[in-house]
């Protein structure tokens, strides 16, 4: 909801358990560590205080870091969409992605899980949020730096370059494709 010119998200406190073949969790309603330390902060209306479930969220928020509370590879294999959420939050707030998070996000096992478990529509929603955010170029830079371009974007064959080409050429080809689709 929008409150005093600021967007506020309200979520239930929950933990999630994942099976190996799905990103759809079984939910338990309780305190959770969340997907990112900065997303693990809760305002307790009874005590009028912020609860930092991971004991790192406030520090990471202050220092401008995107970090997972659990090992990032485990976090991303449970739900690979979290990779794109980390990128979106990093770009949106101008935060740096943790080195261990970047290593996990760009590993083949996580990229394979992102391609296998997440629908094109799910990826599209995250990309739309990145592109409509305040730092779309930063988000695309993260996608390229983490070697996720060909997982996230699928172009028609006539627009697709050799996958060994650099990310700059990917972005140019993507822009040309978008321009032809929407402006011709």
CA distance 39 to 43: 12
Q: Is the pLDDT of residue 66 over 90?
A: yes
Instruction: Name the band, by pLDDT with cuts 50, 70 and 90, for residue 30.
Output: very low
pTM of the predicted protein model: 0.75
Please tell me the CATH code under which domain 2-153 is placed. 1.10.110.30
pLDDT of residue 8: 73
Q: Bigger pLDDT: 174 or 67?
A: 67
Residue in 91, 89, 98, 79 with CA at minimum distance from that of residue 142: 91
Q: Is the pLDDT of residue 39 over 50?
A: yes
Instruction: Name the band, by pLDDT with cuts 50, 70 and 90, for residue 29.
Output: very low
């Amino acid at each position: 909801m929008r409150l005093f010119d600021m967007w506020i998200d309200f979520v239930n406190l929950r933990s999630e358990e994942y099976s190996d073949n799905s990103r759809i969790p079984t939910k338990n309603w309780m305190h959770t560590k969340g997907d990112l330390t900065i997303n693990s902060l809760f305002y307790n209306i009874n005590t009028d205080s912020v609860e930092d479930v991971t004991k790192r969220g406030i520090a990471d928020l202050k220092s401008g870091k995107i970090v997972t509370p659990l090992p990032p590879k485990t976090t991303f294999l449970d739900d690979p969409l979290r990779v794109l959420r980390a990128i979106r939050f990093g770009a949106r707030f101008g935060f740096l992605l943790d080195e261990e998070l970047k290593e996990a996000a760009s590993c083949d096992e996580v990229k394979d899980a992102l391609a296998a478990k997440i629908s094109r529509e799910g990826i599209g929603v995250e990309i739309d949020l990145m592109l409509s955010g305040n730092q779309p170029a930063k988000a695309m830079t993260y996608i390229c730096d983490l070697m996720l371009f060909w997982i996230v974007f699928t172009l028609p064959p006539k627009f697709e370059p050799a996958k060994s080409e650099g990310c700059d050429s990917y972005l140019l080809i993507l822009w040309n494709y978008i321009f032809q689709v929407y402006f011709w």
